[in-house]
Amino acid sequence: MTRKRKTDAKKAQKRNIRELENLERLKEKQLANSEGGFDPSQVSSADSALSRKLASK
């Protein structure tokens, strides 16, 4: 293998590794969002608890 091809292969390998890591991070984020994601009922209950607290003062 020539030097040029060797460096190209190394660069391609590093690029592939980076892309795989990015995909893994993306999957983890999506999983976290689906598990403990946005739940409107929790927001409204927290909102009403806050308004009760403010009203009692």
Q: What confidence score (pLDDT) does residue 42 get?
A: 57
Q: What confidence score (pLDDT) does residue 14 get?
A: 95
Instruction: Look up residue 12 and give its two tokens.
Output: 């391609």
User: How many separate domains does the chain show?
Assistant: 1
8-27 pLDDT, tens per residue? 999 999 999 999 999 999 98
Distance CA 57, CA 52 (A): 9
Q: Is the pLDDT of residue 52 over 80?
A: no
**C-alpha 49: how far from its chain's center?**
30
What's the N-to-C CA distance of the chain in angstroms?
78
Report the share of the chain in percent with pLDDT over 70.
68
Per the structure, the complete domain to which residue 17 belongs is given by 3-56
Residues listed for the chain: 57
Q: What confidence score (pLDDT) does residue 28 get?
A: 85
